[in-house]
Amino acid sequence: MKINITKESFLEGIQIIQSGLSGRTTLPILYNFLMEAQNGNIKLTRTDMEMATIHNIKAEVLEEGSITVPLKEFSDILKNLPSDKEISLETDADNKLHIKSGKSKFWVIGTQKSEYPIVPEVEKDETFSVKAKEIKEMVENTIFSSSTQETRYVLNGLLWVNTPEKFEMVATDGRRLALATASPLQGAKNFRIIVPSKILNEMLKLLGINKPGDDDFIDVSVSSNQISFNMKETTFISRLIEGNFPNYEQVIPAKKNISFKADAKDLLSSTKRAALCSGDLGGTVKYSLSVNSLAVTSSSSKMDFSDEVKVEYSADEFNTSFNPQYLIDVLKIIPTEKVLFSFNSSSQPVLVEPEGKEQYKYVIMPVRA
């Protein structure tokens, strides 16, 4: 294999496949990535056996071939090469990758392609396109509520449900829930799948780099146990999560006996201040309602905090307490000026909704203070 390429385009590709690399593995080969050169293109592949990232880069391919190379070491070398010089890559018979840029020369020991795990292509039982900006917004507004505990594996992903009436995305960790609703996916059949948070986080990182426009789409393919996302030169492939997702519709409060409306930014700022005095894990923030006023309080062994936020409320006095981080996670993504809180009682879940944005709903379990 012999290639000439610019540092900038190669470094971007390496950063894309590097971001999702798992640090926990017993297979040394998984610390490598696969590089294949053919027809004026370099194909970079990285997998940790749960998920794979594939990225294609245009290059001057003088001699076709392939090799796997330690990702971290190669990335460190690439970052420190001169920016104004072309990079030359060449393999030899001993699976060494020779790297040259200007007067700088490196060589790295690699392995042949046959030693790298095969990344299976997704059987395209279901393929559809979604607007990149819309799917990005839906994921960003729900994924924070998914679980990170390995013991609750079925909650380590987002439930995607497509019906003739709507498309829903749901995340929950058992103590809170986030729901995003949109129009049915055009060209897609009815489906109900659990998409790992890991692949969705990688998709968000890429979309953060590429800044999709209004006309940019993501091609999604779904099989019985896999899903793939294709965005221009990059493809993410992952296994789906198997299991029974909780009945989220039963969790969303249907009745709203008590409700108040507040300025989202004001309430977020006050809750953040309260969180500073709520103590370590297990600390709470208390919301106490009276006519047109919300008292926000917290305390720990070393500090106390109290504040007052103007709200629209005209019923009897009402008190409830929450994990402050759950409140902050929701309030910081509210896209509207006003936010609506609805309760049945102090011990039942609260429904949080952006005013005028009915497609987003958040449910938070209160905490016994």
Quick: pLDDT tens for 245-283.
999 999 998 878 899 999 999 999 999 999 999 876 678
Residues of the chain falling short of pLDDT 50: none
Rounded CA-CA distance 143/239 in Å is 18
Architecture of domain 253-364: Roll (3.10)
- What span, in angstroms and rounded, lies between the C-alpha atoms of 320 and 346? 5
User: Can you give the pLDDT at residue 369?
Assistant: 60
Position 210 scores a pLDDT of 77
- Helix, strand, coil percentages for the chain (3-state, nearest 5): 25, 40, 35
What does the alpha-carbon distance between residue 34 and residue 67 come to, in Å, rounded to a whole number?
6
pLDDT at 216: 92
**Positions of CATH 3.10.150.10 in the chain:** 2-115, 126-248, 253-364
| Residue 20: per-residue pLDDT | 59
Mean pLDDT of the chain: 92
Topology of 2-115 in CATH?
DNA Polymerase III; Chain A, domain 2 (3.10.150)
Return the CATH superfamily for domain 126-248: DNA Polymerase III, subunit A, domain 2 (3.10.150.10)
- Please state, for a pLDDT cut of 90, what percent of the chain lies above it: 78
- Quote the radius of gyration of the chain (alpha carbons, Å): 25
Structure tokens at 363: 């449910």
E strand or H helix at 230, and its extent? strand 226-231
Bridge partners, 311 (sequence order): 262
pTM of the entire predicted model: 0.91
CA distance 324 to 286: 9
pLDDT at 279: 76
